[in-house]
Structure 1
């Protein structure tokens, strides 16, 4: 029918294929393209390479960690009018977790007449579609020459180095354009341009540095068919007792790398899987009577947080943060709260509740043009407002990056026209830029269906007593004295989480050898910790780039 979508009906059959017996187990291994140099046997997981008309076994790939991505082998889609099929996947690990790179085989031929390959890679909760530049340009920088945050000329263009990490291949499946590096670590560096491009330098092959260039892409733009029905389900195979208190931990997101225990609030590292001992640490918390998120974890609200338009976003994580005033700094310490939001195909975003109002942000694919105290993103100009060190003091829920104790970040916040927000966050080995927009408190409360009696604490645009207008109009019925008391309590609790306090009173009451005093000392020693993220909700998975 003329009105049928381009990807309706069964996928077209390949006009020809290359097939041979696996040298490891004898099972058939099929190549859909003459451009594919290697494949992974789906039966014995041997990695085989083509040697003329024969196959040669070079090693065994580990089982892929089932992260329940919506993507899978066989998915079909279209990019710029050209159809493609997902035919392979590489799964990598680095210090803070894992990421996938999906091999796409396009129907249209390249310049040499062979089908063109591409890579759909994970990028801070979103995706980048990139293509290898073959042959690679000359005089690419060496791995030990790069550091995060520098500006560098690569392949004749100016780039900002976003991250430099050491990675290793965990597993591979399907059809690949070249043999994968099965053993040992190697350096991967991600670069960003002011034009919104992502460049990746891959040093897996000591004799040949890989260079690819791509752009951000939303899965909804690719007209995908054959996706998994859902990627948001309870991962029963990963359920594990909390190493601190024994309560059951059941992560619900495929990409969860760390989460807080719902019972004892310990932060548990899941980035290396759930087998064996799990790293964890206790939070310096205010106990079961402490303040809880104003938007409950698990809530879903319909918000427009980018080019995709209105989507249903679910709250999966919550954190409280504070800045760290320097010596001689007369500014008051400030506090804010961030909600990690998740959508199956759009990825992640942050909803930020600060003393000057609400806003949302998502990480940028490219990098702004920075000149002095100004920054330019496309046609939008930003002006630097604040520069400071920050840390996270409290978390609940799940996070797709590995939460680290005592890790700090240097943050620079920028303001743009009509409430536009821009933030730069720098940690060891990584720089992340985030872009977003101010929001009205009423929009947030309405999206998450917050009861009218609980909305007074949402309005911060006019200062801490902005809820008085509602009280006078009879909305919540709260008096000015009650609101002032609530504000004071919030500040006290946040300050106690950020700065901690000593245990002299506990020691005086119970004695130095008491369990109460020792527990107080342990809680105090846990201090604060830091997740990668900016004050406007900028975040990363700990390695930036495609991780």
Structure 2
């Protein structure tokens, strides 16, 4: 728990608009937003001057709030301000953290920024740039950028706007003015941001460097105790069929309707004009894909990387396929389950033809050299490069889904079943690169963790070893081979309806067409990839 800063450093005055008390804890803070009337107040000596009014914050049900306090690397801090920034893909929060220790000048308290995005967190501090920073147009997403003696990977170059602000801030926020921010990551698990600011200001870009963390590592006190209770009451009406959709997660950007299967975009907040698209993938009842083997809402105890065993809840389900290259008829299908833990954020379980695996988004970026990648002392070799496309979704997702959304993936294999995935989404100014790391996972572990029936063991298996001749008689081997051929040829092609002839002859409501649609839809999910759609991961944008 952070202690209160020295009283000699605090400054309190009445809001000139409503009379409420406004406090400044740092001598370096130039501005505060009144918590009562939302007036933007500029500090001028011993007086406050109202220079405008801040917009209302979008209620994202963050567990953080002003006044929450904790420790970072042994130093105590308190959250005293907040910026809510918006971009094409949604929004994220920047919390102004004021420490109890002095900064490098000794004239004011040290401050930093706790970034909150997609269930992940990054603590960053402004620092002198290692050299003259390149202009944003010189940065290419996915490319290496050498700054000083460090090699960084450009993760994103985003145009953002400040949507709202609250509390004590070190500068005057200008609402709705567009500016560019670039995010870079390195092999030391660091995140750097270049804040170019509005073009009209003409100021030099600012350089911030930080590290990813889990909220539990900060030992925070004073969190919003009612955030879980409020989330239970957050609901929207499906714009397609009118069904009530209960949004359970604070970071949800898209949710699939349980009744009509439309995918609803809630990235602009509850009450905004909601966009949606209908899913017309053939499958059960002529629409939708296969049923998830791991039921939505089910929780299971799994050890996914550092942090030991945690309870992970299945909150989303995605079916994806590869898009064949020109002249190539080969195509793979796989399934992904989005998992959530309140303190650890998000992870993915991947169900592909070569077995199960798990991945979690990385803060940093592996170092690339030819067809190999190095991460935390291990060397990974490149296995596959492919373009993936989402074909069907259920549940909630922390990114905004769009029809036919595509990703460019590269999979890497490391020692002991370790895996890396590089994924690029979007193009041009909307492009973003995210790395994920994980490992292979035995199906028996999932059967036990999610308390599935023993009869589901066979359904979880993704292993083609029975096709080998070892231990299999001639007739049995021939039978399994023919069964495998039937399964392969029954796979649904991504974006193609193999039952179109039956639909034209008998109609979409006919038993003939419905049976064909069910059969082909049930064959999906046996892919040759273990990539994870892992946009986000707590970046300081």
TM-score (norm: length of structure 2): 0.87
Q: Displacement, 1:344?
A: 0.7
Partner of 1:101: 94
Offset of 1:491 from its aligned partner? 6.0
* Residues 300-344 of structure 1: CA deviation (Å, up to 9, x unaligned): 0111112111111110000011111212236x3111110000011
- Structure 1 match to 2:7: 15
CA distance in 2, matches of 1:254, 1:465: 46
Aligned residue for 1:437, secondary structure, equals strand
Indicate whether 1:505 and 2:498 are aligned. Answer: no
SS in 1 for 2:101: strand
Picking from 236, 239, 252, the partner of 2:235 is 239
**Pair 1:497–1:544, CA change in 2 (3 A):** farther
- Unpaired segments ≥5 residues, structure 1: 1-6, 470-478, 520-533
Give the Cα–Cα distance (whole angstroms) in 1 for the partners of residues 355 and 483 of structure 2: 17
Q: 1:455 aligns with which of 454, 457, 472?
A: 457
The answer as to whether partners of 1:423 and 1:538 remain within 8 angstroms in 2 is: no
Q: Which moved more, 1:241-250 or 1:348-357?
A: 241-250
Q: In the alignment, which of 514, 518, 531 is matched to residue 536 of structure 1?
A: 531
Aligned position for 2:424: 426
Check conservation: 2:83, 2:165, Cα contact below 8 A. yes
2:223 to 227, 237, 248: 227
Shift in alpha-carbon separation, 1:96–1:337, aligned structure 2, 3 A: same
* CA gap 1:509/1:100 in 2 versus in 1, 3 angstroms: same
Superposition deviation, residue 34 in structure 1: 1.1
Q: Pairwise mapping of residues 58-207 of structure 1 onto structure 2 (< 5 A)? A: 58-113=51-106, 114-133=108-127, 135-136=128-129, 139-205=132-198, 206=201, 207=203
Q: Deviations over 1:112-143 (max 9, x none)?
A: 1121101111255311111011x555521112
Distance 2:412 2:170 in 1: 42
1:323 corresponds to 2:319: no
Q: How does 1:334-413 map to 2 (within 5 A)?
A: 334-413=332-411
Q: What is the deviation of 1:397?
A: 0.2
Q: Which one of 16, 28, 44 corresponds to residue 37 of structure 2?
A: 44
Instruction: Give the CA deviation at 1:24.
Output: 2.8
How far apart are the structure 1 equivalents of 2:454 and 2:239?
39
1:455-505 CA distances to partner (integer Å, 9 max, x unpaired)? 211122454779xx9xxxxxxxxx999999997897677625653346343
CA contact under 8 A between 1:122 and 1:128: conserved in structure 2? yes
Equivalence map 1:261-272=2 (5 Å):
261-272=257-268
Flag the 1:313–1:343 CA change in 2: closer, same or farther, 3 A. same
* Structure 2 unpaired stretches of 5+: 515-528
Does the 8 Å contact 1:369/1:376 carry over to 2?
A: yes
Task: Assess, with a 3 A threshold, how the Cα gap between structure 1 residues 20 and 234 changes in structure 2: closer, same or farther.
Answer: closer
Cα 1:232/1:352, change in 2 over 3 Å: farther
Q: Any idea what the Cα deviations from partners look like across 1:95-117, whole Å, max 9, x if unmatched? A: 11111111111111112112110
Structure 2 distance, partners of 1:233, 1:501, is 46
Residue 144 of structure 1 aligns to a residue whose secondary structure is: helix
In the aligned structure 1, how far is the partner of 2:257 from the partner of 2:299? 21
User: Is the 2:233–2:246 Cα contact (8 Å) retained in structure 1?
Assistant: no
| d(CA) in 1 for partners of 2:483, 2:228 | 36
1:176-197 Cα shifts (integer Å, max 9, x gaps)? 1222221321111100112111
SS of aligned partner of 1:443: helix
**1:342–1:488 CA distance, 2 compared to 1 (3 A):** farther
Distance 1:401 1:460 in 2: 28
Rounded to whole Å, the distance in 2 between the matches of 1:230 and 1:371 is 48
Which residue is equivalent to 2:539?
545
Q: Which moved more, 1:242-251 or 1:122-131?
A: 122-131
Deviation at 1:14, TM superposition (A): 4.8
Contact 2:35-2:166 at 8 Å conserved across structures:
yes
Cα gap change, 1:235/1:33 in structure 2, threshold over 3 Å: closer, same or farther? same
Give the direction of change, closer, same or farther, for the CA distance of 1:100–1:483 in structure 2 (3 Å limit).
farther
Per-residue deviation at 1:345?
1.3
Correspondent of 1:437 among 426, 436, 439: 439
Bigger drift between 121-130 and 253-262 goes to 121-130
Aligned to 1:281: 277
For the residue of structure 2 that corresponds to 1:365, the secondary structure is: coil
The answer to whether residue 298 in structure 2 is matched with residue 305 in structure 1 is no
Counterparts of 1:233 and 1:494, CA distance in 2: 43
Provide Cα deviations, 1:219-240, integer angstroms capped at 9, x if missing partner: 1111111222364456366422
